[in-house]
Structure formats: C-alpha cells, structure tokens
Amino acid sequence: MKTSVAFAVNMPEKECGINIKYCRLSNTNIYISSYLSPDKVYMENVGKCIEMIKEYLLRFDFQRSFLFGANGGLFVFCNCVELALRESSEIFPAIDILLEMLPVIEENFPDKPDDIDADAIPEELRDLIPLLNEWAISDDQEREEKVDKAAKATLTRLVNRVAPKLDAINKYLDSFGDEPLSEAATMFASLAELVCELQLRK
Amino acid sequence: MVPLSDIKNILKEAKIKYSHSQVTCYDRNFRGAAEDMFVFKYKDRRFHIYLYDDYICI
C-alpha cells in the first residue's frame, strides 16, 4: 500500500489499523498506522501533515475543554478526511473548517494510486484486474451515479464476469485476517460490493 | 443517537438541497447493515453525513 499520509486524531481507526499512539496534541492522542509505521517517508509525512493542519485541528475544539470530546475525532487517509462529531449543531462550523483544511492536505499530500502487482493477487482473480480502475468505487454515491449512467448490457456483463468469483474474492479478503487490506484488496472489496448491489437490483 | 429530524432541520435552515437514504453497508462477508446517510453539496464540495449510534460522521 502506498499512501502519503494516514492518521487519526482522538480515537484510533480500527479498520485500517491506525491504532498506534504517536503523540499528544492539546491533550488529544494522535494515532498512526501500525502497518505503515516502519516506512520512514510515511512517518515524515504524518509529522509534516499534523504540523500543517495543527491550527485547524485546534479549531474543532467546540466543547472548549479539549480538542475532541468522547466519540469525536478526525481520520485522515490520503485525501479522504472523516470527522466524527457528537452534536448536530457542530456540522456546519466543522464543515467550514474542513473546507479550509482540505486544500492544504490535497496540495501537499496528493493521492498516490498503486500500480496493482498482479503477482500479489490470487491467480483466479487476475483476469478481473482490468475492471478495477473503472468499477472499484468505494464511495456509495459515486457508485450509484456510475451504475445509473451505465448501459444495462454493460452491467449484465460485469455481473456475469464477477459474480462467479465472489467466493474467491471473499477468500482473498479473509486471507488478510486481522491485518489491514492492501489497496488492491480494498479495490476487489469495492468491486464485489458493486456486483452484490447489482444482483440485488435484479 | 442524533435524531434524523435534527439533521434535516439543520440542512433545511441552511437552504441546502440534500438526499437522504438508508444505505447498505457491507462487511467482508458482504452482509448488509442499514445506515442513514445524507448527501449534499456545499460550497462546490460534496459531503456525506452518516448517522451512527453515538456520533455523526461527516
């Protein structure tokens, strides 16, 4: 997995293994990826990114006591930023801060998509690799838009090609056990999700 | 849990068009679980809000 930056503020992110305490900022823990921490470049980027967005993070202190309350936090992974809040009244103040912060992250830490290493993919799934760039869409809304625009025949061909391999995809994903999924595996998961949804539409 | 009506009111007060749906999330075994999701555009960016039991995720 190649990513320029990934960390969590205030609470660990379990699915991606961002669970090692890295430092404290205004009485709040910053967590980094256990998977990526041996990577020197990753560590440098995390430090640099936190320094760059520190002032924005402090502004999320809506409760005026510490950076984020219980069950509140921020998760940065590549260019994706997720913010967990407790109060609905905080939504727009938080979004306004995010809108200032996002360009800083996007400009300095752009996404670096991996070239998929076919050797690391189970042989029976390798013929699906060409589908990943177009159809492995993790965002629900984007996936729906893509499906709505696609021709019915195209979707039928996609289902016919991928559906017989869902068990193999599942087995591949399970092979990671408690370890975080690789970027390629995440793409296979998104592809499988799409095909399951298409099957449900029938 | 934050009531759905709270989120709807906040978005309406801000005069923002939104879509609300129950989305199916999948785990590794592709088993589904429904969550409330709002999608809207604000200042040329698209945002998603998910409602969980004890927090809101943007």
* A109: Cβ contacts below 8 Å, ≥ 6 apart: A4, A5, A45, A49, A78, A79
* pLDDT at position A8 over 50: yes
**Interchain contact, A91 vs B7, CB within 8 Å:** yes
**Chain-chain contact of A140 with B48 (C-beta, under 8 angstroms):** yes
Interface of A with B (CB under 8 A): 71-72, 82-89, 91-92, 94-95, 98-99, 102, 139-141, 166, 170, 173-174, 189, 192-193, 196-197
Residue B44's pLDDT is what?
Answer: 85
- Rounded CA separation A143/A153 (Å): 17
Place of tokens 């509140």: A72
Give the mean pLDDT of A84-109. 88
Q: What is the pLDDT of residue A41?
A: 83
Write out the two tokens for A199.
């099957």
Does the pLDDT of residue A202 top 50, yes or no?
Answer: yes
pLDDT band of A64, cuts 50, 70, 90: low
Residue A39: pLDDT band (50, 70, 90) is confident
Is ipTM beyond 0.90?
no
Q: Residue A99: enclosing H or E segment and its boundaries?
A: helix A91-108
Burial of A188 (0-12, 13-18, 19+ CB in 10 A): buried
CB contact under 8 Å between B43 and A99, yes or no, is yes
pLDDT tens-digit series, residues B6-49: 899 999 999 999 988 876 655 444 445 567 888 898 998 888 88
Check A91 against B49: CB less than 8 A apart.
yes
Closest CA–CA distance from residue A84 to any residue of chain B (Å): 4
Residue A71, both tokens: 């069950």
Contact A196 B39 (CB under 8 A): no
Please give the pLDDT value at position A2.
41
Top residue of A82, A86, A95, A178 to mutate, by most chain B CBs within 10 Å, is A95
- In this prediction, residue B29 carries a pLDDT of 44
Nearest CA in chain A to B6: A88
Q: Which is higher by pLDDT, A52 or A201?
A: A52
| Calpha distance B15→A80 (Å, rounded) | 26
Q: Which of A84, A140, A192 sits opposite B55 (nearest CB)?
A: A84
Q: Given this model, what pLDDT does residue B31 score?
A: 46
Average pLDDT over residues A37-45: 83
- Residue spans of the domains in chain B: they are 4-57
Mean pLDDT, chain A, rounded, equals: 85
| DSSP letter assigned to residue A181 | P
As a whole-number percent, the residues of chain A with pLDDT over 70 amount to 91
Of the pLDDT bands very low, low, confident and very high (cuts 50, 70, 90), residue A4 is low
> Are the C-beta atoms of residues A84 and A71 closer than 8 Å to each other?
yes
- Written as one string, the DSSP assignment of chain B is ---HHHHHHHHHHTT--EEEEEEEEE-TT--EEEEEEEEEEETTEEEEEEE-SS-EE-
Is A94 close to B45, i.e. CB distance below 8 A?
Answer: no
**In this model, does residue A11 exceed pLDDT 90?**
no
pLDDT at A146 over 50: yes
Task: Residue count of chain B, please give it.
Answer: 58
> For residues B48 and B38, is the Cβ–Cβ distance under 8 A?
yes
pLDDT tens digits, one per residue of A158-169: 999 999 999 999
Q: Is the pLDDT of residue A108 over 90?
A: no
The span from the CA of A190 to the CA of A133, in Å, is: 11
Contacts of A139 in chain B (CB under 8 A): 48
CB neighbourhood size of B35 (10 A): 15
CA angle, A184 then A186 then A192, to 5°:
105
